[in-house]
Amino acid sequence: MLVSRDSLYAALKGAIRGCRGRTGGACGHHRQLPNYVAFSKAAPQTLEAMCQVRGIDGLYQTAIEECVMGNRWLDIPLDDYEGHMALPAVGQAQMIAEQLDLGLDRWSPASIAVIGCAGGNGFDKFAGRTIERVVAVDVNPRYIERTRARYAQRLQGLELICADVQSKSLAYGPVDFTYAALLFEYVRVPSALRTLKRNARSNAVLTTVLQLPHSTIDTVSPSPYVSLGRLASAMTLIPPETLRHAAADVGFVPVDSTTIKLPSGKIFCVQNFRA
């Protein structure tokens, strides 16, 4: 299993933050980590040994589990991702923002979580609405920092969290509405859904956007942003019925669904659930 050193270091820090959250205070593990230089120069097996010596091998395993699915995203520059998604031949950035806007109109939530927020695509849709909390979650710390730079002064109640949605330790407090667009293609579906259910209010809404397969169109569209090609091997298209059954298993009730066809020919499924 290949994991980049920077990805593993970031995941280890995230695992320790999660451990601190579970214990309700400083657990001391953060003081047992070597500094960044030591981590960045160490091979993964050396990192494991470091953690075992310090009695935190469980955190090492958590870090491995939490960064493997997300490590490719840690290597994608935000400018590349946003540039690709906004290409006229792709057009997915506009679609994602529009579906968020439609959800806000339909459900009028007081609190919302955007999972896989990237650089805050669609966050301009919050302007003029009575939204008390906006929780933005992404596995890439650079994406989170860009979102902070863009929106921290513009959105009251903005909470930015760098974390893997598959983590059992991810807790941000229940919200009324969760938006997860093009997320489940890159995560373990049951793990992510359990996190979303755990952080949903009673009767809260979950809106998901899935990409559907196409017989003649590449899953990841050809692009001048070559870094996006790294995602192809990490992406698994999830049938809507698979997500529906998995959501039901953790306590979500399906409400309705619709399909969207973009000018590019790609087709997406939008599903709504109640917690």
107-156 pLDDT, tens per residue?
999 999 999 999 999 999 999 999 999 999 998 889 999 999 999 999 98
Note whether residue 73 is domain-resident.
no
| Total structural domains within the chain | 2
Give long-range contacts, CB 8 A cutoff, 24+ apart: 230-237.
230/72, 230/75, 230/76, 231/72, 231/73, 231/76, 231/186, 233/72, 234/69, 234/72, 234/186, 235/185, 235/186, 236/185, 236/186, 237/185, 237/210, 237/211, 237/212, 237/213
Domain with 114, as residue range(s), is: 78-274
Q: Please list the ranges in the chain whose pLDDT falls under 50.
A: 1-3, 16-42, 50, 53-57, 59, 62, 64-70
Which residue, of 34, 49, 68, is where some domain finishes? 68
Task: Look at the pTM and tell me if it is higher than 0.85.
Answer: no
Domain end point (choices 16, 42, 68):
68
For residue 172, being part of any structural domain is answered with yes
Asked if 233 and 102 sit in the same domain, the reply is yes
- pLDDT for 38 equals 47
Task: Using CB atoms within 10 Å of the CB of residue 31, give its burial: 0 to 12 exposed, 13 to 18 middle, 19+ buried.
Answer: exposed
Q: Tokens standing for 196?
A: 């979303």
